[in-house]
Structure 1
Amino acid sequence: MSDSKVSRHLAVTMLALVSCQLGLHACMSGMRVGIPLLALSENYSKLSLGFVVASFAILPAILALKFGRMTDRLGYHLPSFLSATMALTGTLLLVLSQDLWAMIIAASFCGAGSGFGMIAIQRTASRLTSSSAERVRVFSWVALAPALGGLLGPLLAGSIIDHWGFRAAFLSLAAFPVMSILCAAFVPREAIAHPIKGTKTVPESSLELLRDLPLRRILLINLVVVASWDAHGFALPILGHERHFSATAIGAVFAAYSSATLLVRLILPFVSQYLPKRYLLIGSLSIVGGIFSLYPFLPSVWMLMIGAAIFGCVLGVVTPIIMTFLHESAPPHRQGEVLALRSMLNQTSLTVLPLLYGVVGGLSGAATMFWVMSAALFMAAWQSRYFSYQVAEPQHKTASVN
């Protein structure tokens, strides 16, 4: 196959993968708007609302490792179909019933559909590449799906709720996982190596993966990045409230962050081959650490918007690089499991960290949260200096596709 045909084949496959995840994430994002609004309209308590919102992360935190192992065994298509079916079931459940238990189950299914689908898509996309530069580019394309889905799903859900009500909104969101199922047909099937019939395999413990120092280090750096994103979302409203900024002004700061993240992810696929990953990771983490240390001293909304935009740009660059290092550090036959381990750690931290931030923010204010996070980011940047020596490029052969 000529280089042009290979490039065209990869482009079609990537478009299909991004479309699959766009459908799942848009569905989940729309449900994250629709379900809490439904709970509030039904006059459920704030505690009940907390359980509903937490339900989006429950199944990904508990079952991600099992799902990751499934993708290693079965490839992309069956796991992606199961993910889309879970999301579709969640939306249709709320068309039929709108009591509290239906909301909790629907939130769990839609959160699992998006989280599990991302594991399958990231694993498949990375195994279609043959070089480190290609992986950064591919992970940049994959990262567009959550950014676009996070805009499209809530806009659709909110507008339909206002005009036609909740059932119509949930029914419209069901179109997204259906789109994911249809787009999966354009993803080539992976040639999976099955064990010889009659042989018994001993399941490998996921804890064994953490014995590998480069993998342990990149997972730790990933957790710091996730924590910084969560701290940013938690502490900025507190900082704005302390300075008596309006809700519109605080919203504008978040909009600057989201817009910058989306913009850099649109640009990164075209320039990733010219970027030195190791130094870019060190520099990006250091820049974010510096931004976090300066946040408490920024006096105006406009300066906070500039800081948030820089943070969004850097985060948009860091995530594909972390995913590339994660792929190259993982054993070839356990890449789905490693991605699932990352997802499980992320979901757990997103559940636990807000409680910690609440304690710290309540005791000493938003400034302390930013400074603690700044120190953690500088430590992560220091750890990043090891990667070019411990991760081969490329380390593993990619899987063939038919």
Structure 2
Amino acid sequence: MNGAELLRLIGAQVCVHATMAGLRLAAPLLALQQGYSAMAVGVLIALFALTQVFLALPAGRFADRHGLRRPLALSATAATLGAALAGVFPVFPVLCLAALLTGGATGATVIALQRHVGRAATDSSQLKRVFSWLAIAPAVANFLGPFGAGLLIDHASTLVGGAPADLLSYRLCFAVLALLPLLCWALVRGAPEEAPSAPPAGAAPTRAWDLLRDPMFRRLLFVNWLQSSSWDVHAFVLPVLGHDRGLSAAVIGTILGAFAIAAAAIRIVLPVLASRTSERVVILSSTLATVAVFVAYPLLYSPWLMGLCSVVLGFALGSVQPMIMSLLHQITPHHRHGEALGLRLMTINASSVAMPLLFGSLGALIGIGGVFWVIGATVLAGSRMVWGLRLPER
């Protein structure tokens, strides 16, 4: 895969993901402005991930059967439809429908693109490099989507004599977001497509859950869950810890922002390092660094030191996903890559819905600092699973 093609695919993912990220900012703000409760807004936000839990496996199978372009055409259509409906009918039930459509479209896009990129790579070094570059897309989208949506909400209506953050501003914001998935389709419509891999002759029908019979796949899924939970606990618990330390919202936001920047930055450097080390070494190093940061966090009171921990954790966790994706493509059959990606995405999204409830309960029982230490101990115990991530002999 050449650089220009990879850049187009990254741009395509940014377009769909930015639509969801922008809508995830604008829709809750509009709902609050219309008088809906914080609980209702929480349900609205959860809907962005809910569709990905239930559609991940069907989307993976569909990508295995149809490749890249057809899944992305449907995803772009769904994302455009969701944002457009929100613009035409800016009422709460339609905002919920838009969340379901754009969330599902983003998940299906990720699966189709990751499958396509993984199949186009020729060796393990190239797998690590292309997934490192592709992993930059969500970071870029999570910045551009909310940033652009915020600017449109504050200023779009004023250009035609309206007021900031009025209903017209939201309509214009949703209209612009609806255009981005069309650009995604324009970027990928001419992408070269490999023929789908057929299952071996005489092979019995399979189900996605059959993949869990492979011990290495189970191990990889568990390791991925550990890293994802570490990401979630940092995003969920750090604001509470910062509040207990008396830090302002701006300082807490800066610490979280430093984490996001570090996670994106390491993915720019990672392609250079990919050919010099193995996936297992990178994941193990990340695991041990995560444990060290989680042990240190509750002991710190200085925002500068907490910011340093945030940066270290961003470097550690940001480097893991490309390595996980590289291993996943090497240990699963070619004709089932989409299913494996769908099962992984379903697990991660289900965890992201459930884990904040667990963190909140733990925090009430043992304190916020104790949550960091419990998760750190869990990650440390799981490091043995990381050491066992060995590719089968070929």
Asked if 1:136 is matched to 2:144, the reply is no
Which of 237, 240, 243 is the equivalent residue of 2:239? 237
How many Å separate the matches in 1 of 2:170 and 2:217?
Answer: 44
Asked if 1:222 is matched to 2:214, the reply is no
Partner of 1:273: 275
Contact 1:22–1:149, Cα closer than 8 Å, also in 2: yes
How many Å separate the matches in 1 of 2:202 and 2:277?
Answer: 45
Structure 1 residue 52 displacement after superposition: 0.7
Asked if 1:188 is matched to 2:219, the reply is no
Partner of 1:40: 32
Which of 138, 159, 166 is the equivalent residue of 2:151? 159
How many Å separate the matches in 2 of 1:320 and 1:174?
Answer: 29
Which of 249, 252, 274 is the equivalent residue of 2:251? 249
Partner of 2:183: 179
SS state at 1:43 partner: coil
Structure 1 residue 364 displacement after superposition: 1.9
Structure 1 residue 136 displacement after superposition: 0.7
State the Cα deviation string for residues 67-117 of structure 1 (Å, max 9, x = none).
Answer: 100100111110111111111111000111011110110001111111110
Contact 2:285–2:316, Cα closer than 8 Å, also in 1: no
How many Å separate the matches in 1 of 2:79 and 2:203?
Answer: 32
How many Å separate the matches in 2 of 1:138 and 1:381?
Answer: 26
Contact 1:283–1:381, Cα closer than 8 Å, also in 2: no
Which of 308, 326, 329 is the equivalent residue of 2:328? 326
How many Å separate the matches in 2 of 1:194 and 1:210?
Answer: 20
1:279-298 pair list within 5 angstroms = 279-298=281-300
Which of 353, 356, 378 is the equivalent residue of 1:354? 356
Partner of 1:398: none
How many Å separate the matches in 1 of 2:124 and 2:377?
Answer: 29
Partner of 2:6: 14
How many Å separate the matches in 1 of 2:109 and 2:197?
Answer: 22
- Given the two structures, how large is their TM-score scaled by the length of structure 1? 0.92
State the Cα deviation string for residues 268-326 of structure 1 (Å, max 9, x = none).
Answer: 11221112322221111111111111110122100011000001011121111111111
Contact 1:18–1:142, Cα closer than 8 Å, also in 2: yes
SS state at 2:90 partner: coil
Partner of 1:5: none
Partner of 1:86: 78
1:335-350 pair list within 5 angstroms = 335-350=337-352
State the Cα deviation string for residues 159-206 of structure 1 (Å, max 9, x = none).
Answer: 10011210011111112111101001242112125689xx99864122
Structure 1 residue 391 displacement after superposition: 3.6
Contact 2:83–2:98, Cα closer than 8 Å, also in 1: yes
Give the length in aligned residue pairs. Answer: 382
SS state at 1:52 partner: helix
Letter in 2 for 1:378: L
How many Å separate the matches in 2 of 1:343 and 1:104?
Answer: 21
RMSD: 1.7
Asked if 1:74 is matched to 2:66, the reply is yes
State the Cα deviation string for residues 369-399 of structure 1 (Å, max 9, x = none).
Answer: 11111112212322111223x445xx6xxxx
Contact 1:325–1:391, Cα closer than 8 Å, also in 2: no
1:345-384 pair list within 5 angstroms = 345-384=347-386
Letter in 2 for 1:246: S
- Given the two structures, how large is their TM-score scaled by the length of structure 2? 0.94
Structure 1 residue 353 displacement after superposition: 0.8
Change (3 A) 1:70 1:274: same
How many Å separate the matches in 2 of 1:143 and 1:171?
Answer: 27
How many Å separate the matches in 1 of 2:203 and 2:320?
Answer: 37
Identity of aligned residues (%): 36
How many Å separate the matches in 2 of 1:231 and 1:262?
Answer: 18
How many Å separate the matches in 2 of 1:269 and 1:367?
Answer: 35
SS state at 2:233 partner: helix
Contact 1:53–1:107, Cα closer than 8 Å, also in 2: yes
Partner of 1:125: 117
State the Cα deviation string for residues 189-228 of structure 1 (Å, max 9, x = none).
Answer: 12125689xx998641222110100000000000111111
How many Å separate the matches in 2 of 1:86 and 1:203?
Answer: 30
Which of 10, 17, 24 is the equivalent residue of 2:16? 24
Query: Which one is further off, 61-70 or 183-192?
Result: 183-192
Partner of 2:101: 109
Partner of 2:166: none
Change (3 A) 1:70 1:200: farther
SS state at 1:174 partner: helix
How many Å separate the matches in 1 of 2:338 and 2:198?
Answer: 16
Partner of 2:173: 169
